Amino acid sequence: MAGRGAPLGNRNASKSKPFWHAIDRAIAQEDGKRLRDAAEKLLNFAAAGEEWAIKELGDRLDGKCAQAVVLSGDADAPLTINHKVG
């Protein structure tokens, strides 16, 4: 099974995330009670059949579904892709 987290060399984790840090501090202040309350509300909405809550719960537990990319255009003007690595 593959490891969790960002792949080696991914520098996104080093970028500043002020909103994430603010939420993390707020959660820590009450030993996570508000986060547990929010999770319980989400579960209650899902159990009551709320479609948005069921979708959100599925996205959080299983991850979001892969999005399809459909390209279309003029057959006489083919798509040009430039990709730079490094």
User: Could you read off the pLDDT of 46-56 as tens digits, one per residue?
Assistant: 999 999 999 99
Tell me the two tokens of residue 8.
């080696």
Q: 48-65 burial string, b = 16+ CB within 10 Å, else e? A: eeeeebeeebeeeeeeee
pLDDT given for residue 64 in this prediction: 86
pLDDT given for residue 52 in this prediction: 96
The chain-wide mean pLDDT, for the chain, equals 84
Read off the pLDDT of each residue in 28-41 and give the average, rounded to a whole number: 92
pTM over 0.85: no
- Would you say residue 1 has pLDDT above 50? no
Residue extents of the structural domains in the chain: 18-86
CA distances from 17 to 34, 47, 50, 52 (A): 21, 33, 31, 26
